[in-house]
Amino acid sequence: MNTIQITIWIILIIPNIFAYQCLTDQWPPKSKSNIPTYVIDLDTPPFQRWNQIVTLYKSQIRDVLDYTKHFIVNTWPVFTFLIDIMHTKLSLIADTLPEPYGQELKGISQASGISLGEIIFYNIFYEISSLCTSIVTQDQNGYIIHGRNLDFGLLLGWDKVNKSWILTNKLRPLVIAINYTKNGEIRFQTISFAGFIGAITGIKPGRFSITLNTRFDLNGGYIGIIEWVYNINRNQSFVTLAIRDMLTGAENYDEAVEYLSKIPLLAPCYYIIAGIKPEQGVIISRSRQTSVNIKTLNTNNQWYLIQTNYDNWRKQPAIDDRLTPAIQCIETKGKNNTNFESLFNLLSSQPMLNKLTIYTTLMKPSTGQLESYIQDCHDEDIPCIPW
């Protein structure tokens, strides 16, 4: 049975044998799941900012890139042209990006010894596809708590022996926390991959927090990237760089929501933002051009918001419905028991936790509390769902 056949079998058959969970015993997280923290000093020239991190992680970045290229060539040969584009066209993107991003990418390339085109390819992964679960809740005292699972690696190689996604396993060692500082003070923090300059999960302490989920649409990120590479349309932003721009410039929740609601994007997505005051929570469902839906806390007296990778106002696909079990779990626990412990337990329950899950992050914007942990779903009591 080849990789394509295995993938089809997984998609069609395996979800039927898994059960939903609402775990209560996963807190506190195991110490081995802690994520290391590094500093990006914004007072340092952009070309040099990533030197320390990239020097430490260059072999892991190289491994991810080599595996991905090998997988494309051997599994999807029709897409081999992407490797040629990586080496001939992607390096040109660096000079088209607003600063400081072009210089940061060039510096990462030099510090790692990896070609600029490959570094840019590594940095646009998330513009194309990822699976995630994000939650914003309000506890009984009005404090906002924000949590997320980041899932990545679907259809990019299945390890039959270890029953896991190969790329997912290779990305876990690259997960780091980054404190972006200026004048010696933390301006904002992200949970990211070493050498990844955008932001997927972030917090501006005392102001707001943000997570990003992929939104599937025919007018997707691959179209936006092609338009950018061939200079068809550059009046748009990469979705992860838009978050970093917002973390840099926005001073409060309202500014963050306004910015991410309106900016033209390369890819459709969901922006999930939490603030520091009661009812400050929102899911912004984005097309590439505009917001197609904005859902806020306290809509119909709802004290939580949950977003996966499908429009929350539509019926969820039976093959990947993480929304329904997440709602069941959070309502079972109740508003009076909303805290880091209950949210971590929810995000550690299947199918929110699955074979694609790389990390779980918990944030409390009002206090600046940020905790993040590597996650890995093991086949113990019951088999883990593949996604």
| Whether pLDDT at 51 is above 80 | yes
Tens of pLDDT, residue by residue over 141-180, are: 999 999 999 999 988 899 999 999 999 999 999 999 999 9
Could you tell me if residue 312 is inside a domain? no
Grade residue 84 by pLDDT with cuts at 50, 70 and 90. Answer: confident
Coil vs helix vs strand at 47: helix
| Whether pLDDT at 293 is above 70 | yes
Give, as one character, the DSSP assignment of residue 39: E
Could you tell me if residue 99 is inside a domain? yes
Could you tell me if residue 19 is inside a domain? no
Question: 191: which strand partners?
Answer: 177, 201
Predicted pLDDT of residue 178: 98
Could you tell me if residue 78 is inside a domain? yes
Question: Cα dist. 139→27, 334, 337, 343, 370 in Å?
Answer: 18, 9, 7, 11, 17
Could you tell me if residue 86 is inside a domain? yes
Q: Where are the alpha helices (DSSP H) in 142-299?
A: 166-171, 221-229, 239-249, 253-262
> Would residue 269 show up in a list of annotated catalytic residues for this protein?
no
Question: Cα dist. 290→209, 241, 295 in Å?
Answer: 21, 17, 14
Please state whether beta strands 144-151 and 175-182 pair in parallel, antiparallel, or not at all (unpaired).
Answer: unpaired
- Mean pLDDT, rounded, for 335-347: 96
| Whether pLDDT at 9 is above 50 | no
Predicted pLDDT of residue 13: 43
d(CA 347, CA 350): 8
Grade residue 80 by pLDDT with cuts at 50, 70 and 90. Answer: confident
Predicted pLDDT of residue 282: 98
Cis peptide before 351 (omega within 30 of 0): yes
Contact between residue 114 and residue 65 where contact means Cβ atoms under 8 Å apart: yes
Grade residue 18 by pLDDT with cuts at 50, 70 and 90. Answer: low
Tens of pLDDT, residue by residue over 174-230, are: 999 999 999 999 999 999 999 999 999 999 999 999 999 999 987 777 788 888 888
Chain mean pLDDT for the chain: 92
Residue type, 228: W
Contact between residue 72 and residue 212 where contact means Cβ atoms under 8 Å apart: no
Predicted pLDDT of residue 93: 93
Tens of pLDDT, residue by residue over 94-109, are: 999 999 999 999 999 9
Q: What is the dihedral of CA 233, 234, 238, 243, to 10 degrees?
A: -130
Contact between residue 357 and residue 149 where contact means Cβ atoms under 8 Å apart: yes
Contact between residue 148 and residue 361 where contact means Cβ atoms under 8 Å apart: yes
Half-sphere exposure for 92 (CA within 13 Å, toward CB):
11
DSSP string, 179-222: EEEETTEEEEEEEEETT--S-SEEEETTTEEEEEEE---SS-HH
Burial of 270 from C-beta contacts in 10 A (0-12 / 13-18 / 19+)? buried
Quick one: tokens of 11?
């998609």
What are the residues whose beta carbons fall under 8 Å from the beta carbon of 186, sequence distance 6 or more? 179, 180, 205
Predicted pLDDT of residue 155: 86
Half-sphere exposure for 157 (CA within 13 Å, toward CB):
18
Grade residue 381 by pLDDT with cuts at 50, 70 and 90. Answer: low
Could you tell me if residue 189 is inside a domain? no
Could you tell me if residue 183 is inside a domain? no
Q: In terms of residue numbers, what domain contains 101? A: 45-123
Quick one: tokens of 232?
């068809």
Contact between residue 252 and residue 274 where contact means Cβ atoms under 8 Å apart: no
What are the residues whose beta carbons fall under 8 Å from the beta carbon of 383, sequence distance 6 or more? 17, 18, 163
**% of the chain residues with pLDDT over 90:** 77
Predicted pLDDT of residue 81: 81
The count of domains in the chain is: 1
Of the residues 132, 269, 329, 384, which is catalytic? 132
Grade residue 371 by pLDDT with cuts at 50, 70 and 90. Answer: very high
Burial of 358 from C-beta contacts in 10 A (0-12 / 13-18 / 19+)? buried
Phi, psi dihedral angles at 371 (to 5 degrees):
-135, 135
Contact between residue 191 and residue 177 where contact means Cβ atoms under 8 Å apart: yes
- Mean pLDDT, rounded, for 267-275: 97
Reported pTM: 0.94
Could you tell me if residue 89 is inside a domain? yes
